Amino acid sequence: MILTPLLTVVLASLAQFTVAQDDQGPILLDAEHNYTSIIGTWSSGSQAVSTGPDFCDPAKLTFNYPKNTGVSYSFSEDGFFELARYRFNSNGSDPTCITGVIGWLHGEYTLNANGSITLVPFGDGFQQIQDPCAAVSNFIETYNNTEYYRGWRIFRDPTFGPKLHLFGHDGIPVAPQFQVSTTPTMFPKQLLRNNTFVTVSRRSVDGDEEDLARRESGAEAVLWKSKVVGFVAGAAGLLAASAVSMAL
């Protein structure tokens, strides 16, 4: 059996590629790894999701729900990134409990020497989570996590051209993305909203809407309350729109 050890070697190297790229030393930006530059806008699947002003309004904390789920990343020549994602997470134990997550983030990126990417946000990122089975079924919150990707590759798809593969911090691949444009579609590369509060809008059992607002540091909570009202109204409006998209 000559094939068995060979196959094992192939499988082992594939596994290593997907889970441990940042352990493999300096990245080689050769034709195989970097078929084209990462600069531009990338989008997965049906390309319904794209970074840029069509996706959301960071100042108002609102989203324009795309027709389909997907992810989109943009990278600029001068070191800025933006990402947009919209997904449904299914629940194995209860198929009716599907969680919808839509989010947006921008900031600065670094292509690290060991082949990983670090995305450091400005502080105005936000996301909306809809979980019909949770106590708070629909809320918008600020999202300011630094994201780390263990590796990335750009291949050439014979039909669709350059194809970007990103691997998350745990090695799990992000949906492959095709290059939508070589010039990135992005918001201005600066902070677009100063406030860092978390807004929650939820529906109580009798159908009435209850709005909650809180801020990370309790001291300024009252100060922020008046500003929050406008956003909560926006979030409540989204409830109706998002109920439709959840049903689709």
Q: Taking the complex as a whole, how short is the minimal distance between the CB of residue 70 and ligand NAG, in angstroms? A: 21
Coil/strand/helix, residue 92: coil
Amino acid letter at 69? Answer: T
Q: Taking the complex as a whole, how short is the minimal distance between the CB of residue 4 and ligand NAG, in angstroms? A: 31
If the CB atoms of residues 97 and 221 are measured against ligand NAG, the closer one turns out to be 97
Q: Taking the complex as a whole, how short is the minimal distance between the CB of residue 148 and ligand NAG, in angstroms? A: 7
If the CB atoms of residues 14 and 29 are measured against ligand NAG, the closer one turns out to be 29
If the CB atoms of residues 135 and 222 are measured against ligand NAG, the closer one turns out to be 135
DSSP state of 30: S
Backbone angles phi, psi at 22, to 5 degrees: -75, 0
Q: Which residue is nearest to ligand NAG (CB)?
A: 123
Q: Taking the complex as a whole, how short is the minimal distance between the CB of residue 131 and ligand NAG, in angstroms? A: 7
CA distance 222 to 35: 53
- Listed in sequence order, the residues at least 6 apart from 31 whose beta carbon sits closer than 8 Å to its beta carbon are none
Joined tokens for residue 65: 């729900």
Q: Is the CB of residue 25 less than 8 Å from the CB of residue 64?
A: no
By the criterion CB under 6 A, which residues form the site for ligand NAG? 22-23, 29, 34, 37-38, 91, 93-94, 97, 111-112, 114, 116, 120-121, 123, 133, 144, 146, 191-194, 196
Q: Taking the complex as a whole, how short is the minimal distance between the CB of residue 34 and ligand NAG, in angstroms? A: 4
Backbone angles phi, psi at 189, to 5 degrees: -85, 65
Task: Residue 54: name the closest of 68, 46, 65 by CA.
Answer: 65
Q: Taking the complex as a whole, how short is the minimal distance between the CB of residue 80 and ligand NAG, in angstroms? A: 14
If the CB atoms of residues 133 and 233 are measured against ligand NAG, the closer one turns out to be 133
What DSSP line would sit under 36-78, residue for residue? S-S-EEEEETT----SSTTTEETTTTEE---SS-EEEEEE-TT
If the CB atoms of residues 8 and 37 are measured against ligand NAG, the closer one turns out to be 37
- Listed in sequence order, the residues at least 6 apart from 247 whose beta carbon sits closer than 8 Å to its beta carbon are none
CA-based max dimension of the chain: 74
